[in-house]
A and B are shown apart, each in its own frame.
Chain A
Amino acid sequence: MHTQKVTLLDGAMGTMLQSAGLKLGERPETLSITAPQVVEDIHRRYVQAGSEIVLANTFCANAHKLAGTGFSVGEVVTASVGVALRACEGTQAQVALDIGPIGELLEPLGTLKFDEAYALFAQMIRAGVAAGAQAVFFETFSDLNELRAGVLAAKECCNLPVFASMTFEASGRTFLGCRADAAAMTLSGLGVTAVGVNCSLGPCEVAPILRAMRTATDLPLILKPNAGLPDPQTGVYHTDPQEFAADCRALLDCGAVYVGGCCGTTPAFIEALREKIGGKEAVWGEKTLRGICSAGEVCAFGQGVRVIGERINPTGKKRFQQALREGDMNYIVAQAVEQAEAGAQILDVNVGLPGINEADMMRRVVTAISGAVSLPLQIDSSNPAAIEAGLRAAPGKCLVNSVNATSASLCAVLPLVKKYGAAVVGLALSEGGLPRTVEERMTHARTIISAALEAGIPREDVAIDCLTLTVSAQQDQAAQTLEALACVRRELGLQTVLGVSNISFGLPQRLLVTRTFLAQAIACGLTLPIVNPNQREIMETIDACRVLSGEDAGCTAYVGRYAPQPEDAKKPASSAAARSLTLEEAIARGLRAEAAQLAREALAATPPLELVEKRLIPALDAVGEDYEKQRIFLPQLMNAATASGAAFDEVRAAIAKTGVQGEGKGPILLATVEGDIHDIGKNIVRTVLENYGYRVIDLGRDVPAERVVEQAKAYGAKLIGLSALMTTTVPGMERTIGLLHDAGVSAPVIVGGAVLTPEYAKRIGADYYAKNAKQSADIARSILG
């Protein structure tokens, strides 16, 4: 049981400034310079009411929000902290630097880079420390990663206590989908003083959210809710301070230690809090939720089997290697989505490939995945720089794969795990090479857990991998692995990880051996199997194991999944349908599965390139002509291109089998320019170009001009396509073209986008303007053949 005396925070600043005449839409922070007395009075009234920590008037004093005000971050922060310190003079009250969101969304949903956010926060924090702030208080965050950037900046730039608070909707999630328990789990790991909830709603509505946080942390909690719910029309709050304080008092039993108010609260609310809870003790019990998380999902350990998907890994996968080399995030994200839909609960991310910058790639891949899939990640690398890059970028608490029992590994990896509050997989392996016996494995496991504990990593955050060796080569080892697994569970009580697939290497019917071993391992206590969740039989084995272990209580999930359906009529009889279709028809009608099957069949008799030249491209041409003549419209063209893409995948697979490198014509570089995230048009162009057999390097969206130039040179691009949708982002296009010309890149540039015209395209120096994807393909053909 924990106890701590309540510390009273202050109430709203904005509400008070508005009643003193601040207009909506104006920057309240500059008043610390232009009307310091008004701000000081507000602070003083809060201190007199009982506030023990007041938040300086610095909520939006970041360089982006202050742009155009005529004041610098240093000026505003210094003035604001100074005003607050003056108001606290002669009292015990302390001043915290108040930091709110920057006002722009971070990647991957937005355009602000994690490092830019970090730098903006660091600038405020340095100024705040210099001005004499006694704590750093982050509040009103919706994006866990933005808050992580801030907390990391605070931890790395100063030694002050750090408070981290987020704003939630009644659903218990933030606007960006962050769960309260995930926030608490993640932020606790970063070493903050307290975590909690501010703004959001009134104290009653906040109660369940705060209680959700309580399950996932042992830290004291922050409670700083609004004065109830505002009138939707006028924005005025009507809650009575006494009622507010009484509702807050009800949360002392879940460890609400730092208590104050947000929107609509005034000194009267703080006074009411002082009367009701001043000097009282908050109490709370141990957390009950352990495991790892993303912002949107918690993967609880100790409650059964948790499936780690292994597919994001280039080992032995030519197509994945190509995607990494070309930075094709779309392909990698697709692997993540597929595994998530197949039932993976954690995604392993391994991007190690000779010749690529692994740390930079890890950062990019982790960021891209987290936009589309909200599963917790396992950062898989032997390179500490790549591990750190992954841990920094990932919104949540990750699992690190892996550390081993050598002192070099322990020294390099464990400090990173501790710093980012991650969990870690310990590989039962040391200098002597692969272990042979159960006892060797246990010795290494003990070395790892004691080093982890010494590094400050709690026991619950360590999992042991007892190593799967190939049974066809070392047949005695399967039994050793299984027994070691059981020992780790029984004697050390740790979570266990195992890469299962390796067991069957070199054997026919691999899946049979793999899934049998998987079932045995789960029976011995394997909790975190690393598998290919796209293999139906693997997931079926896990489903069955969950029934047998009791994890699937009442067999509910199993029955839900496997009970016979009244009719399985929905499944299209794809082969029967395909038999009456030609490949050309399947493409024209956008039938993906049928086009793939027909291509597969045709490839038995036709060489791959001939199939492309004689059938796929003519089929696409016919569709393109229908589109130009306005007999069909864009979605029909795209459906056809996607079906043709499915056929193309079969061609690529056939080419890969022959070992001949089919490079395709090009390459063509595509990018949506810096500042713009509207990439639907660019993606359409890519799909169509790829289906005409061109090799396309897609740099993605919001691509800096410098990167376009660098990549154009690196790939020797023959043609460059740029897109921008907004009038505000077209200048980014002009800048990119200018930079390409300055750098001597001679490849012609095609531009496209809703607001562009042929005249404007010419004016900004583009060689071609394409109205749509079909025109882009025509231009490519005129240049590249």
Chain B
Amino acid sequence: MDAELLQIPLREVLHFLGWRGTPVDAPLLAQIRDLCDLAVREVRPRMAERRFPLAPDGSLAGTSMTPKGNDVRAMLAPCREAVLLAATLGAESERLLLRMQAKDAAQALLLDAVLSAAIEAVLDAREEALRGELAAQGRYLTDRFSPGYGDMPLAQMREICEVLGAQRAIGLTVSAGGVMIPRKSVTAILGISDVPVARRPAGCEGCAARETCALRRR
């Protein structure tokens, strides 16, 4: 199904560009804003989503998938249900990148960051909406956890795609080399709990990759 992309936060784009607070000149900001407009206009975000009860053995009931790794298992421990999400900016985003790369390498760099921020914005919007829906029922949503976070194996993104039928549903594939294509795509799992759940601290402190990550927020 189609997903919503209304706005791409400028700050997130700068974050993906490795910005560390140095002055950003007005023409560069204008360049980024134009590319954000282009992305919102040309890209068609799509999302697949399904809820599954969590079986006592930790697997998602009715599927062949068991979330792996201590971090995600700890996150899901208080939950009786989990939501799988897969979202993509679609083939349009790939074509846009290829076209821009041929025209102007600097613009392509900016567009790449704009699209990275865009797919995060799509997920953020859905997460927030879901959190609101659940809150109205007196239920709680955990953080959003993606394969590759903490000790959850990256390979589980393929399982999430299989369970959601992501190729058929939203045109998202995983290559033999384990790369999601279209590149600007995300898979994630969230837990639903009847009791309040501890959230990870916002930012990088809770992340296992914090020592080496180039995108670490300082």
A residues touching B (Cβ–Cβ < 8 Å)?
A: 23-26, 64, 101, 103-105, 108-112, 140, 142, 167, 174-177, 199, 232-235, 330, 333-334, 336-338, 371-374, 589-590, 592, 630-636, 638-639, 641-642, 645, 674-680, 683-684, 686-687, 726-729, 732, 754, 757
Give the contacting residue for B182; candidates A109, A330, A333, A639; CB below 8 A.
Answer: A109
Which of B17, B27, B62, B171: most chain A CB closer than 10 A? Answer: B171
Which residues of the other chain, B, contact A25 by a CB distance below 8 angstroms? 63-65, 159, 162-163
Task: Name A's interface SS.
Answer: loop
- B148 nearest in chain A by CB position: A727
Q: Does B173 belong to the interface (CB within 8 Å)?
A: yes
Contact B98 A23 (CB under 8 A): no
What separation, in Å, do the CA atoms of A105 and B167 have in the docked complex?
Answer: 10
Determine whether B22 belongs to the interface, using a CB cutoff of 8 Å to chain A. yes
Report Cα–Cα, A639/B31, bound state, in Å: 10
Q: Which of B90, B106, B159, B173 touches A110 (beta carbons < 8 Å)?
A: B173
Asked if B71 lies at the interface with its beta carbon under 8 angstroms from chain A, I say: no
- Listed A/B pairs (28) with beta-carbon separation below 8 Å: A25-B163, A26-B64, A103-B174, A104-B175, A105-B175, A105-B181, A109-B95, A109-B98, A109-B181, A174-B171, A176-B91, A177-B95, A232-B1, A233-B49, A330-B101, A338-B103, A371-B94, A590-B28, A633-B17, A633-B19, A634-B18, A635-B32, A645-B105, A678-B179, A678-B183, A728-B179, A729-B178, A757-B212
Q: Chain A nearest CB: distance from B170 CB in Å?
A: 7
Q: How large is the interface on B (under 10, 10 to 19, 20 to 34, 35 or more residues)?
A: 35 or more
Query: A23 near B62 (CB under 8 angstroms)?
Result: yes
Pairwise interchain contact A680-B28, C-beta atoms closer than 8 A: no
Q: Across the interface, which residues of B come within 8 angstroms of A235, CB to CB? A: 50
Complex contact A630–B20 (CB within 8 A): yes
Q: How far is the CB of B200 from chain A (nearest CB, A)?
A: 22
CA distance A84 to B107 in the complex (A): 54
Check B201 for interface membership: any CB of A closer than 8 A.
Answer: no
With both chains docked as a complex, state the minimum distance between the C-beta of B58 and any C-beta of chain A, in angstroms: 15
Those 10 A-B pairs whose CB atoms lie nearest each other, nearest first:
A175-B171, A675-B177, A728-B178, A638-B106, A25-B64, A333-B102, A334-B102, A372-B98, A642-B106, A25-B163
User: Do the beta carbons of B177 and A372 come within 8 Å of each other?
Assistant: no
The interface residues of chain A lying within 8 Å CB-to-CB of B212 are 757
Are B20 and A111 in contact, CB atoms less than 8 angstroms apart? no
Q: Enumerate chain A residues within 8 angstroms of B159, measured Cβ to Cβ.
A: 25
- Residues from chain A with a CB closer than 8 A to the CB of B168 are 140, 167, 199
Q: A104-B174, A372-B102 are in contact. List 10 more A-B contacts (CB 8 A).
A: A64-B176, A105-B181, A109-B95, A140-B168, A633-B19, A633-B20, A638-B109, A675-B175, A677-B179, A728-B177
CA distance A234 to B101 in the complex (A): 40
- Distance, CA A349 to CA B114, complexed state (A): 33
Task: Mark B residues whose CB is within 8 Å of A.
Answer: 1, 17-20, 22, 24-25, 27-28, 31-32, 46, 49-51, 62-65, 90-92, 94-95, 98-99, 101-110, 112-113, 154, 159, 162-163, 165, 167-168, 170-171, 173-179, 181-183, 212, 214
Residues on the A chain within 8 Å of B154, using CB? 726-728
Given A26-B64, A233-B50, A639 and B94 contact (CB-CB distance below 8 Å): no
Q: How far is the CA of A282 from the CA of B170 in the complex (A)?
A: 32
Q: How far is the CA of A590 from the CA of B92 in the complex (A)?
A: 28
Most buried by B among A108, A199, A639, A729: A639
A338–B100 Cα gap in the complex (Å)? 11
- Cβ–Cβ < 8 Å partners of A175 in chain B: 46, 90-91, 170-171
Name which residue of chain B comes closest to A330, CB basis.
B102
Report yes or no: B91 in contact with A109, Cβ–Cβ below 8 A.
yes
Residues on B with beta carbons closer than 8 Å to the beta carbon of A177? 91-92, 95
Q: Given A101-B167, A729-B177, does the pair A373, B99 have CB atoms closer than 8 Å?
A: yes
Are B179 and A676 in touch, CB under 8 angstroms? yes
Partner of A232, one of B49, B110, B173: B49
Q: When the two chains form their complex, are residues A109 and B109 in contact, meaning their CB atoms are under 8 A apart? A: no
B20/A636 in contact, CB under 8 A: no
Q: Are B105 and A108 within 8 A (Cβ)?
A: no
Nearest CB of B to A396, in Å: 15
Tell me which residues across on chain B come within 8 A of A334, comparing CB atoms.
102-103
Out of B95, B99, B179, B214, which one reaches A675, CB within 8 Å?
Answer: B179
Q: How far, in angstroms, from A636 to B181 measured CA to CA in the complex? A: 29
Cα separation A105 to B172 with both chains bound (whole Å):
9
Which of B17, B98, B105 is A686 in contact with, Cβ under 8 Å? B105
- For residue B62, which residues in chain A have a CB less than 8 angstroms away from its CB? 23-24
CB neighbours (8 Å) of B175 from chain A are: 104-105, 110-112, 675, 677
**Chain B residues with CB under 8 A of A680:** 101, 108-109, 112
Chain B, Cβ-Cβ closest to A111 = B175
Cα(A729)–Cα(B183), bound, Å:
14
How far in angstroms is the closest Cβ of chain B from A14? Answer: 9
